[in-house]
Amino acid sequence: MNLLFDYFPEFRDGFLGTLSLTAASAALALILGIIMAGFRVSPIPPLRAFGTAWVTLLRNTPLTLLFLITFFVMPQILFPGTSPYKLAVGALGCYTSTFICEAVRSGIGTVPIGQAEAARSLGMTFFQTLRMIILPQATRTVIPPLSSIFIALTKNSAIAGAFSVTELFSVSKLLSDKGYPIGWIFLWIAVAYLVITFSISGLFRLLERRMEVSR
Amino acid sequence: MSEVPVTKDATPVADALVALSGVNKHFGALHVLQDINLNIARGEVVVVIGPSGSGKSTLCRTINRLETIDSGTITIDGKPLPQEGKELARLRADVGMVFQSFNLFAHKTVLENVMLGQLKVRKIDKKTAEEKARTLLDRVGVGKQADKYPAQMSGGQQQRVAIARALAMDPKAILFDEPTSALDPEMINEVLDVMQQLARDGMTMVVVTHEMGFARSAANRVVFMADGRIVEEAEPEEFFNNPRSDRAKDFLSKILHH
């Protein structure tokens, strides 16, 4: 107990760090993931190829390797001087977007083809159909896997701690370097993670209940 | 099987709204449309009948390019069907379609279903679109259900909404792909009545159906298809009373007497 109170500012900063890292990368991943899913089902071959390449490349790369490339290669070529926080959001967001893309794509597959045919026979374009007809109806199916993906993202964000971003894992490293009992450190870190992950599951359960589409 | 010569004249008739000439389509090894030539005049009601798997639904769906064709040409109002894209979207807006399974947008109310195309494709302002949607819903007899979701309505009501949704675009023609085949028997007439009314109002219609009563009473012309070909074309009275091809005789004997 003492440890938490003695180092409360550190724990608080770590918690907020993980929270903001997760939220920012989740937002990026969601936007990129939906765009990539749109690409992967689009009738335009180059877009489809790009979406497929994006998923294949990023999903199959170990996240740590992706971090190494993002932190040590990317700044040499593009975006020199970007803060570690932004680089971490970029790496986590792009990586997670591939999983979201696939979840959204499977959701799109559950919407009856007739919905798209009806929209297109009204003269709606492919992207209008996707945005106004298909995606809203796919949302419900996509919510349970999205929840899992975001929880995994929360825990994956720990890797950023090893790349000088302040978050929960970096706090645990700091305190264990100071020689405090590892059990207590981990306990409080774990509690902090659970607060975030339980909030995510709760939020998504709520969304799921709200989004019922009857057929 | 006696083949009856059908018009092989591929040049579109001057006032043909929809003209198919030399249309071929394959599904893998299956030659589902074979050298189809068909002209549909403005205001004409053409009923396509034939046994299952004869290609009649596919024919209907090629007209607004929900199915692509392998060869031949399809023109609508003198313009050949464009490739997938903005231009095709514009053309589809002018050709309404009513599906066997209604395909109303499940996440939108009936009113929103009828307004969506007007708002997003025709770019009409919301107030005008809503007025028009309500008028059309009254016309097909479901005006009181405007705020319901499709799943809360019967099949017959849903199909009438689907017709209103097609009409909201002010189409030049409407394609009906087995509009009553998924309906309970007691709901078929309410949909056919709406279609009869449309036919009387001079709408150009292509109707794929098994409803011989509708074909007799509303059609200007019956097109009989079998095995991917148009086997016979005639006025309804002539076709039903005096079919020329063996295939049509056989088909009619099976469906009319049992």
How far is it, in rounded angstroms, from Cα A185 to Cα A171?
A: 9
Cβ of A122 under 8 Å from any chain B Cβ? yes
Name the packing angle between helices A135-156 and A182-210 (round to 10°): 180
Which DSSP category does A160 fall into? G
How far is it, in rounded angstroms, from Cα B119 to Cα B111?
A: 12
Give pLDDT, residue B158.
Answer: 96
Give pLDDT, residue A4.
Answer: 83
Is residue B1 predicted with pLDDT exceeding 50? no
| Contact between A122 and B117 (Cβ < 8 Å) | yes
Cβ of A56 under 8 Å from any chain B Cβ? no
How do residues B196-252 score in pLDDT, each as one tens digit?
999 999 999 999 999 999 999 999 999 999 999 999 999 999 999 999 999 999 999
Query: B51 burial class (0-12, 13-18, 19+ CB within 10 angstroms)?
Result: middle
Residues of A in contact with B89 (CB under 8 A): 120, 123-125
Residues of B in contact with A120 (CB under 8 A): 66, 89, 92
How far is it, in rounded angstroms, from Cα B211 to Cα B230?
A: 18
How far is it, in rounded angstroms, from Cα A5 to Cα B182?
A: 68
Our CA-based measurement puts residue A209 at a distance from the nearest CA of chain B, in whole angstroms, of: 15
How do residues A14-27 score in pLDDT, each as one tens digit?
999 999 999 999 99
How far is it, in rounded angstroms, from Cα A73 to Cα A91?
A: 12
| Contact between A113 and A41 (Cβ < 8 Å) | no
Class of the CATH-defined domain B16-256: alpha beta
Q: Does domain A2-210 have CATH number 1.10.3720.10?
A: yes
* Neighbour count for residue B33 (Cβ, 10 Å): 27
Give pLDDT, residue B14.
Answer: 57
Kindly identify which residue of chain A lies nearest to residue B122, measuring between CA atoms: A123
Cβ of A128 under 8 Å from any chain B Cβ? yes
Give pLDDT, residue B258.
Answer: 52
How far is it, in rounded angstroms, from Cα A162 to Cα A101?
A: 27
Query: Band of the pLDDT at A74, cuts 50, 70, 90?
Result: confident
How do residues B9-24 score in pLDDT, each as one tens digit?
444 455 789 999 999 9
| Contact between B142 and B153 (Cβ < 8 Å) | yes
Phi, psi (5° rounding) for residue B186? -75, -5
In this structure, what token pair is assigned to residue B202?
């001079």
Q: Domain extents for chain B?
A: 16-256
Model ipTM over 0.85: yes
For residue A61, CA distances in Å to A50, A67, B103, B215 come to 17, 10, 41, 62
Phi, psi (5° rounding) for residue B204? -80, 125
Q: Which long-range contacts (CB under 8 A, 24 or more apart) does B187-190 make?
A: B187/B154, B187/B155, B187/B156, B187/B159, B188/B156, B190/B141, B190/B156, B190/B157, B190/B160
How do residues A112-122 score in pLDDT, each as one tens digit?
999 999 999 99
Q: Are strands B79-80 and B95-98 parallel, antiparallel or unpaired?
A: unpaired
CA proximity to B92, closest of A31, A57, A120: A120
How far is it, in rounded angstroms, from Cα A199 to Cα B87?
A: 47
How far is it, in rounded angstroms, from Cα B20 to Cα B173?
A: 15
Q: Domain extents for chain A?
A: 2-210
Query: Band of the pLDDT at A7, cuts 50, 70, 90?
Result: confident
Residues 64-93 of B with CB under 8 A from A: 64, 66, 84, 86, 89-93
How far is it, in rounded angstroms, from Cα B258 to Cα B201?
A: 35
Which DSSP category does A32 fall into? H
Inspect the interface and report whether the beta carbons of A213 and B92 lie closer than 8 Å: no
Of A2-11, A145-154, B177-186, the least confident? A2-11
Inspect the interface and report whether the beta carbons of A214 and B96 lie closer than 8 Å: no
Q: Are strands B221-226 and B16-27 parallel, antiparallel or unpaired?
A: unpaired
Query: Band of the pLDDT at A62, cuts 50, 70, 90?
Result: very high
How do residues A187-207 score in pLDDT, each as one tens digit?
999 999 999 999 999 999 999
How far is it, in rounded angstroms, from Cα B246 to Cα B161?
A: 39
